[in-house]
Amino acid sequence: MRQVAFLVTPGHQVMVFALISVFEMANKSTEKARYKISFLSEEGGLVTSSVGTQVATVAFCDQAFDTIMITGNPEMRTFSPAVLDFLRQAAGTSRRIAGPCTGAFALAEAGLLDGRRATTHWAYARELQHRFANIRVEDDRIFVKDDAIWTSAGMTAGIDMALAMVEEDVGPEAARAIARKLVMYHRRPGGQSQFSALLDLEPKSDRIQAALEFARRNLASPLTVEELAEVARLSPRQFSRSFRSETRESPAKAVERLRVEAARQMIQDGRLSIDEIAQATGLVDSGRMRRSFLRIFNLPPQAIRRMSRHDTFVS
């Protein structure tokens, strides 16, 4: 039986324990229980969450665990020397160590992310990169597995990471069955975006919102400033000024982001060729599509397709 330990820190968010349901369903979905869950802390006893609930823990020791999950605390992203020493020692004895959400800061502070790829909640990604310059922070990933070290974005992204772990341990069919029991369509691939361009742009007025929605529905069209201004019922000059004021981007750059976001989703679906996707999203051809992807993701479309094939379930 695989021992999965949650290293619980004060002020943790209770959402992290949603991951336990994945391992629980794995136990119920197979002939024998495969996982045993433990709760650890530096001193043992009750550890209080960010909302005041408490979880009973035992003090960590030299026991070896298959998997260790370190809970983070958005209000306190530094960790005690004892916790960091425990993580460093565990790196030599555990098969994998994971930092959901701001738990990535503990792994980084312990030196376990040095020279590695990692992610965290998008709201804290810039801080993670600033504090630990030798980490390659991929702030738009749902989760990242770099050898034995796993990190995930915030909230529900940890569930996707846990499903990927079960898939690795038990197989894709079991992971698919667990996702269904959790009323999930399937786990999201690690390369999927944490947020959409429309949410990130956050237009304030109905007119600019309408123009962006029109653009999203008509990506294969040229989508000139004049066309978008007409949808917004503004002059091209007024539209460009208002658009930049509300979104902090030019219309052309925003449209490019919408095109690239749609193209990446099509790449992850895997049904169309790169050239077909470029035409369907208004990126015209594979060359222009490649340049846009490199500008926005620092990766070419082919690399994202390879990652998607690795991340998604076998059908």
pLDDT in tens, 123-147: 888 899 999 999 999 877 889 999 9
Indicate if 59 and 95 belong to the same structural domain. yes
Indicate if 209 and 114 belong to the same structural domain. no
Contact (CB, 8 A) for 107 and 70: yes
101 is annotated as an active-site residue = yes
Q: Which domain holds residue 138?
A: 2-181
222 SS3 class: coil
For the segment 153-196, what is each residue's pLDDT rounded down to a tens digit? Answer: 887 889 989 999 999 999 888 888 888 888 775 555 555 555 45
pLDDT at residue 177 in the model: 86
Question: What CATH number does residue 300 fall under?
Answer: 1.10.10.60
Indicate if 207 and 87 belong to the same structural domain. no
pLDDT at residue 198 in the model: 57
| Tokens encoding 108 | 């980084």
Which element (helix H / strand E) includes 99?
strand 96-100
Of 138, 156, 181, which marks where a domain is finished? 181
Would residue 32 count as lying in a domain? yes
Of 181, 215, 249, which marks where a domain is finished? 181
Total domain count, the chain: 2
Would residue 245 count as lying in a domain? yes
Indicate if 159 and 27 belong to the same structural domain. yes
Contacts of the segment 176-183: beta carbons below 8 A, 24+ positions apart: 176/313, 177/29, 178/22, 178/25, 178/26, 178/29, 181/25, 181/29, 182/21, 182/22, 182/25
Indicate if 40 and 93 belong to the same structural domain. yes
CA 165 vs. chain centroid, Å, equals 15
- Among left, alpha and beta (phi > 0; psi -120 to 50; other), residue 150 is beta
pLDDT at residue 186 in the model: 54
Would residue 189 count as lying in a domain? no
Which element (helix H / strand E) includes 5?
strand 2-7
Closest by CA to 26, choosing from 58, 67, 75, 79, is 67
Question: What CATH number does residue 34 fall under?
Answer: 3.40.50.880
DSSP 219: T
Q: Which of 101, 112, 118, 219 is catalytic?
A: 101
Q: Which of the pair, 30 or 90, is modelled with greater confidence?
A: 90
Bridge partner residues of 69 (DSSP): 6, 98
The confidence band for 312, taking pLDDT boundaries of 50, 70 and 90, is: very low
| Arithmetic mean of pLDDT, 83-100 | 95
Indicate if 66 and 100 belong to the same structural domain. yes
